[in-house]
């Protein structure tokens, strides 16, 4: 399996000097910077210059910094220290093909009362910008969650930027911190293989699923995970109440989700496996 961007690869080197019959060892390491077909530059926020992530831009009203401990992958993430209401961060421009369908995702850690939402800005040959907005917002959770959406590029679009907008709660004029990492853009209209890594860990189902009085859904799995989990919540009539992807680095996942009283089915997709459990919500 290829090493993901930002992974530190360490080699242990053992060298024997024949003439003096002594041995010396050392380690050296390098950081993997390949992006595996993802055209977003500095998508993992590993490269910084003068306090700013290389290839990324922000509105006035956003303060950000290099984060070294709360990361989704690699060595660094982008910490949004504070964001005014409806302020944005933007990637560099990327060449695209008009009429193609694109999937865009951001990993976000949002454990504050504000929300984050992705959007895309298309540019045609005369540079005219046109925004499209995702209908998905981040929910408050101590876990990393993946925000994702798909758009079809306008027929005359030539470039795009991917962007994230931050919203504050009603009571506050600024909100933070948010953490952002591992932005991805993929062209669904090209014939590239799906090389998404899948967990090989032996998870076969839920150990327990319950909804607490504070409006939080608790999922416990029958094995330790280190993988992405797509969670879908369905009402009894089959309509979907929620869908979101999380990175789970333990055997449990917990997040806030407002649900009316009733019976629901919670479905988890982990790699090629999926399983379902009933959950009763009493308010």
Q: Name the site residues for Ca ion (rule: CB under 5 A).
A: 6, 44, 74, 77, 181
Residue number, 44 or 176, with CB nearest to Ca ion: 44
Residue number, 77 or 138, with CB nearest to Ca ion: 77
Q: Which of 2, 125, 161 is nearest to 73 (CA)?
A: 2
3-class secondary-structure state, position 193? coil
Residue number, 107 or 211, with CB nearest to Ca ion: 107
Query: Nearest distance from residue 19's CB to Ca ion, in Å?
Result: 45
Residue number, 34 or 208, with CB nearest to Ca ion: 34
Query: Nearest distance from residue 44's CB to Ca ion, in Å?
Result: 4
Annotate 216-244 with b (16+ C-beta within 10 A) or e (fewer). Answer: ebebebeeebebbbbbbbbeeeeeebbeb
Token pair belonging to 235: 């009402």
Distance CA 214, CA 197 (A): 34
Distance CA 101, CA 87 (A): 26
Q: Which of 145, 163, 181, 147 is nearest to 68 (CA)?
A: 181
Distance CA 218, CA 242 (A): 14
Query: Nearest distance from residue 43's CB to Ca ion, in Å?
Result: 8
Residue number, 6 or 114, with CB nearest to Ca ion: 6
Compute the radius of gyration of the chain from its Cα atoms: 21
Query: Nearest distance from residue 33's CB to Ca ion, in Å?
Result: 12
Query: Nearest distance from residue 5's CB to Ca ion, in Å?
Result: 8
Residue number, 70 or 252, with CB nearest to Ca ion: 70
Please give the full DSSP string across 46-100, using - where no structure is assigned. Answer: --EETTEETTEEE-TTEEEEEESSS-SSSS-EEEEEEEETTEEEEEPPEE--TT-
Distance CA 75, CA 116 (A): 23
Query: Nearest distance from residue 41's CB to Ca ion, in Å?
Result: 13
Query: Nearest distance from residue 76's CB to Ca ion, in Å?
Result: 5
Say how far residue 191 (Cα) sits from the centre of its chain: 23
Residue number, 148 or 181, with CB nearest to Ca ion: 181
């Amino acid at each position: 399996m290829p090493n993901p961007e930002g992974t530190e690869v360490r080699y242990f080197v053992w060298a024997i000097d024949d003439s003096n019959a002594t041995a010396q060892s050392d380690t050296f390491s390098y950081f993997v910077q390949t992006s595996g077909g993802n055209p977003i530059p500095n998508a993992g926020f590993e490269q910084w210059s003068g306090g700013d992530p290389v290839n990324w831009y922000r509105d006035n009203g956003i303060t950000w910094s290099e984060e070294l401990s709360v990361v989704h992958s690699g060595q660094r993430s982008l910490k949004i220290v504070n964001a005014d209401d409806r302020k944005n961060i933007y990637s560099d421009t990327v060449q695209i093909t008009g009429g193609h369908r694109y999937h865009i995702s951001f990993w976000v850690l949002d454990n504050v009362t504000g929300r984050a939402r992705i959007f895309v800005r298309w540019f045609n040959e005369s540079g005219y910008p046109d925004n499209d907005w995702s209908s998905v917002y981040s929910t408050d959770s101590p876990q990393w969650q993946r925000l994702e959406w798909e758009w079809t590029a306008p027929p005359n679009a030539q470039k795009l930027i991917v962007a994230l907008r931050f919203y504050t709660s009603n009571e506050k004029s600024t909100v933070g911190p948010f953490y952002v990492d591992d932005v991805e853009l993929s062209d669904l209209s090209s014939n590239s293989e799906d090389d998404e890594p899948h967990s090989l860990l032996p998870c076969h189902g839920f150990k327990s699923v319950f909804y607490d009085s504070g409006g939080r859904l608790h999922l416990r799995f029958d094995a330790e995970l280190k993988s992405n989990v797509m969670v879908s919540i369905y009402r009894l009539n089959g309509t979907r109440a929620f869908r979101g992807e999380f990175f789970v680095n333990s055997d449990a996942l917990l997040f806030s989700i407002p649900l009316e009283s009733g019976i629901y089915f919670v479905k988890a997709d982990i790699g090629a496996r999926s399983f379902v459990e009933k959950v009763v919500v009493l308010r």
